Amino acid sequence: MFSYFPTQEHTITPAKAWLLGLLCAVWVGTGLIGHDPWKPDEAYSFGLIYHILQSGDWLVPTLAGEPYMDKPPLFYITAALFAKLFSPLLALHDGARLASGFYTALTLLFTGLAGRELFGAGRGWSAAIILIGCLGLLVRAHELITDLALLTGFAMMIYGFALSHRRALRAGILLGSGIGIGFMAKGFIAPVIFLLIGALLLLFRAWRTRSFLESLGIALLFVLPWLTVWPYLLYRHSPQLFMEWMWTLNIGRWLDYARGGHYAGALYYLKTLPWLAWPALPLAAWVVWWARQKVLHEAEFQLLLVSFMVMLVTLSVVPNIKEVYALPMLLPLALLATAALPTLRRGAANALDWFGIMTFGFIVILMWWGWGGLLLDNRAKITRWLKDYHPGFEPAFHDAPFWIALVFTVLWVVIVWRVGRSMRRAVINWASGVTLLWALAMTLWLPWLDSGKSYRGMVAALSKALPAKYDCIASRYLGDGQKAMLHYFGNILTKRGGEGNCDLLLTQGNLSKTDQQTGNWQVLWTGGRRGDKSERYYLYQRK
């Protein structure tokens, strides 16, 4: 714990703890059910989950009948268990999405525990609240994506590192389990980042202790089953699939990328983090500046800064660079921001507080106004834009979502009005504002969003157009998400590269006249998602 930090921050009473816990629960649970798998990431993820539910085969990740060896299957297995557990109460995709809430809740738990371990009692809640306020986590935390299990693994790792000075055995178990969960979620990135963080921490005197070394040794023992059981079983099942996973799609791909020397996206995360990690990033930057003379001499700062820099550099030099892959960096930033709260000047805290209140208040008014305009067709400019964006959408009034949205809005006003004066006020109001926007999006705006992201209607139309008898359907230019949704909504399986044998062909985009003549194809059906003119699908039949 930082002994030189101001301690005037109010203690969290049991009543306040319950309210903060309720805020976290609402944030985690909202939006997990009630809509179809959305393109692009949810669609293909659920396709892998659906295979487990249909076949019971959890060893080989399979998408629409084809092996999909990009990632190990831990998240997909967990989601399949949730889907089966809550069926038939919930639709399979809704039940599966509860796994996202499960891993997100664990991430908040271990981040809070790390905050308390590093900075003292009461700071754990601050860490969790800052994390749920990060803009980049909001949508992703409620999607069917394996990155959420990876995030849980990293949160366990950081807590394990923080705990290693006091309880070597427990810390080692947490470190090993965190590495293992990360590995079984996304592959080798978690063990690599663990090794780099552990090695760099040993450069600092505060971490060259017997307790820390014991924690590392225990971690290596506990991670061995995670690193060996599934790869061994996969190799026994199919050496070819094992090599495709380990070398072609992971180690070999990274080595080819490293040898190529084309790092055009290496600065991507530096450009993305200012909005992705808001408001954690400016708070973290402030506390590093505030404690700049001691920042490299305190074990807490060493852990969080080393973790952030290792994640930033490592994730910036991998073949695939996307905004979602930056989520692990939010953990050390949120914890650094937690340390910043008692150091903030009152004027800066009030400015952040009022900025959040005014920003969210304005957006909430726009969301209610836009929803009302769609429902009443008030012909305002924003209404015309919303209709043009999803031209096939038909608005309708639904009682339950309306009342839920109204209650959330009133509660937000009460929270903003009644939250006591403290340095935590700004981040609590920010997190509650983020939660309100998400709640409005998942109640009032959910039908509009679902109409533009679901494949259900398109697959239903395609199913009606299929001939009564056919041998098989070849595919060209279809993405993983489309193939998964064809399988789920219509039980339609396509064969990549099967044009020579199949009597039907499904493509995204029209074939050229030359290709139609060469393959002797004629158009049988064309369609797409309702109102989407840019993504069209064509079903061909051999003449």
List % helix, strand, coil for the chain (3-state, nearest 5): 65, 5, 25
pTM, rounded to two decimals: 0.94
Mode of pairing for the β-strands spanning 521-528 and 536-542? antiparallel
402-441 confidence digits (pLDDT tens): 999 999 999 999 888 776 556 678 899 999 999 999 999 9
Helix (H, G, I), strand (E, B) or coil at 525: strand
Q: Using the structure block, give the residue that is written with the tokens 């309708």.
A: 396
Spatial neighbors of 505 by CB under 8 A, at least 6 apart, are: 473, 474, 475, 476, 499, 511, 519, 521, 539, 540, 541, 542
- Which pLDDT belongs to residue 425? 84
80-110 confidence digits (pLDDT tens): 999 999 998 999 999 999 999 999 999 999 9
Region at 4 (left for phi over 0; alpha for psi -120 to 50; beta for the rest)? alpha
Give how far the C-alpha of residue 342 lies from the chain's centroid of Cα atoms, to the nearest Å: 30
Q: What percent of the chain has pLDDT over 90?
A: 72
> 382 with 454: CB under 8 angstroms?
no
Residue 162 C-beta-side C-alpha neighbours within 13 Å: 27
Burial string for 228-244 (b: 16+ CB within 10 Å, else e) reads eebbeebeeeeeebbeb
Residue 203: what residue type? L
Determine if the peptide bond prior to 391 is cis (ω within 30°): no
- Which pLDDT belongs to residue 8? 47
Count CB atoms within 10 A of the CB of residue 447: 18
Strand (E) or helix (H) holding 483 = helix 480-490
Count CB atoms within 10 A of the CB of residue 84: 13
> 526 with 537: CB under 8 angstroms?
yes
16-68 confidence digits (pLDDT tens): 889 899 999 999 999 999 999 998 889 999 999 999 999 999 999 999 889 99
> 471 with 542: CB under 8 angstroms?
no
Mode of pairing for the β-strands spanning 494-496 and 473-476? parallel
Region at 145 (left for phi over 0; alpha for psi -120 to 50; beta for the rest)? beta
Report the distance separating Cα 74 and Cα 52, nearest Å. Answer: 12
DSSP 342-394: GGS-HHHHHHHHHHHHHHHHHHHHHHHHHHHHHHHT---HHHHHHHHHSTT--
Report the distance separating Cα 140 and Cα 147, nearest Å. Answer: 9
Count CB atoms within 10 A of the CB of residue 85: 11
DSSP 28-82: HHTTSSSSPPPTTHHHHHHHHHHHHHHH---SS-EETTEE--SS-SHHHHHHHHH
Helix (H, G, I), strand (E, B) or coil at 422: coil
- Which pLDDT belongs to residue 26? 96
Helices vs. strands in the chain: H and E counts, helices first: 24, 7
Q: Using the structure block, give the residue that is written with the tokens 């394990």.
A: 160
- Which pLDDT belongs to residue 422? 60
What values do phi and psi take at 267, rounded to 5? Answer: -100, 10
> 239 with 344: CB under 8 angstroms?
no
Give how far the C-alpha of residue 448 lies from the chain's centroid of Cα atoms, to the nearest Å: 22
Residue 365: what residue type? I
- Which pLDDT belongs to residue 1? 44
Mode of pairing for the β-strands spanning 504-508 and 536-542? antiparallel
- pLDDT < 50 regions, the chain: 1-4, 6-8
- Which pLDDT belongs to residue 420? 58
Report the distance separating Cα 158 and Cα 332, nearest Å. Answer: 8
Cα distances from 284 to residues 289, 302, 425, in angstroms, run 9, 13, 17
Domain ranges (residues) in the chain: 69-343, 346-453, 456-542
Tell me which residue of 27, 249, 251, 267 sits closest to 138, measured CA to CA: 27
Spatial neighbors of 220 by CB under 8 A, at least 6 apart, are: 176
Report the distance separating Cα 438 and Cα 31, nearest Å. Answer: 8
Helix (H, G, I), strand (E, B) or coil at 508: strand
Q: Using the structure block, give the residue that is written with the tokens 């409005």.
A: 440
> 337 with 287: CB under 8 angstroms?
yes
- Which pLDDT belongs to residue 421? 58
